[in-house]
Amino acid sequence: MFEFIKKLFGPEPSSVTARERLRLVLLSDHLSLAPDVVESLKGDLIEVISRYCEVDVANCDVTFEQQDKQVAMLANIPILGMRSRQAPRTPEPPPAPAPPPVSSTPAAAQSTAHPAPSPPKAGGAGAGAPRRRRRRKSGGVAPNAAPQAT
Amino acid sequence: MLHDVIPQEAAAPDAPAKPRGRAIVVTSGKGGVGKTTTTANVGAALAAAGASVVLVDADVGLRNLDIVMGLEARVRHHVLDVLENKATLDEALVTDKRVPQLKLLAAAQTREKDDVDTAAFRALIDSLRSRFDYVLIDCPAGIEMGFANAIVGADEAIVVCTPEVSAVRDADRVVGLLGDTRKVHLIVNRLRPELVRKGKMLSVEDVNAILRLPLLGIIADAPDVIVSTNKGEPVALDAASPVGSAYRAIAERISGARTDAPAIPRERSFFDKLFGSR
């Protein structure tokens, strides 16, 4: 339906394409981040989140945005459903792990580029990790994903 | 690496009692966006308004400013002659045909950019500042040695940028290299308002959303500019040309005579197109 309306109005003007290309190229200039690094980061993020949730991979979007002097990573990862883990040791934990002093507000989804990419790499299969990861997932992804899941 | 080559400091602080002229480098990073045309026209407009102005062509090896000014037949000596004491400054300065308080110091055509001694070039700009109200330096494209030399004596810069992805990217790089000590302004060149309206060209807002520089002016991509370059007559001296008046407005913003925000050029009407190019 949406695609149909899009087609009705013709292709997007080339200035929009130019703006987007400019944004991306300057981003990689400023971060010294190669475009393929962004792609593999996106893949890693989706992979980690997929361990816990059913992710709509086709509609995932991970971008960086210049916000004044800072760069923010914005991840929009639609969640189709929760994955039931083999042994549900901690039933219904998402609301519980609030205590740790972390900003699990929606703002966490707009964390700066530096802290954000690291957690997926750090998240090994350690025994103590699940609790931490679940918090990241709910804080970092769910708020953005919710509107799209409908 | 490059940061080592390019001095981040501006020219020496103003000390003498006599008011020193302003040294402004016109730069862009990318080639072909209109640095030389901008230098010629802004210089001509400043001089026509009564200031004493010297245009310095720092594009050693690819001398063009004399052509755009229509002064190529008058050039006897160039910058390197002066730097190497083969000619005095007065011998090398070419006086404009139309505006006598406008002078040109041409670049060497048969030499290379690496032949310019950075310290000596800086000293030259310094001495020009004691004689002229404005020293406009036409910077070569690129960010190598020629760029480093061109900006070394300038404490202000005009970044010329066209509404293209590549030009904005290069301008962004150049703004970073100019450092925090220089006053940097922007001129958006070759704008085509009708294409912006149709969504086929980046707008001034798009460009400056990236560069975030104070805007000196917007120059339309108009036939007047090409015609005037063909003739070697700066369009800024053409009272009837809308582009000329845009250049004169830029000169007034530089001198402080004018503080209004630059206007977006008017679209060319059917009649403009019909009777346009002279």
Residue B13 lies in a domain: no
Say which of A13, A16, A29 has its CB closest to residue B169: A29
Residue in A9, A22, A27, A69 to test binding to B, most B beta-carbons within 10 Å = A22
Residues 6+ apart with CB under 8 A from B160: B26, B27, B28, B33, B34, B35, B38, B171, B187, B189
Number of domains making up chain B: 1
Residue B10 lies in a domain: no
Model confidence pLDDT, tens digit, residues B54-81: 999 999 999 999 999 999 999 999 999 9
Question: What is residue B161's predicted lDDT score, i.e. its pLDDT?
Answer: 98
Q: What interface predicted TM-score (ipTM) does this complex get? A: 0.76
In angstroms, rounded to a whole number, what is the distance separating the alpha carbons of residues A33 and A64? 11
* A64: confidence class by pLDDT, cuts 50, 70, 90: confident
Q: Are B257 and B227 in contact (CB under 8 A)?
A: no
- Closest Cα in chain A, distance from residue B9 (Å): 22
Residue B28 lies in a domain: yes
Residue B174 lies in a domain: yes
Model confidence pLDDT, tens digit, residues A88-143: 444 444 444 444 443 333 433 443 334 333 333 333 333 333 333 333 333 333 33
Q: Are B53 and B101 in contact (CB under 8 A)?
A: yes
For residue B42, what are its two tokens?
């802004």
- Domain range spanning residue B91? 20-275
Judge whether residue A35 has pLDDT over 60: yes
Say which of A14, A19, A21 has its CB closest to residue B200: A14
What CATH number does the domain containing B228 carry? 3.40.50.300
- A34 touching B (Cβ < 8 Å): no
Residue B15 lies in a domain: no
Q: What is the mean pLDDT of chain A?
A: 63
Residues of chain B with pLDDT under 50: 1-12, 14-16
Residue B264 lies in a domain: yes
Residue B9 lies in a domain: no
Residue B8 lies in a domain: no
Say which of A13, A16, A22 has its CB closest to residue B210: A22
In angstroms, rounded to a whole number, what is the distance separating the alpha carbons of residues B73 and B80? 18
Question: What is residue A40's predicted lDDT score, i.e. its pLDDT?
Answer: 86
Question: What is residue A146's predicted lDDT score, i.e. its pLDDT?
Answer: 37
Question: What is residue B2's predicted lDDT score, i.e. its pLDDT?
Answer: 45
**B165·A22 Cβ contact <8 A:** yes
**A15·B206 Cβ contact <8 A:** yes
Mean pLDDT value of segment A80-95: 61
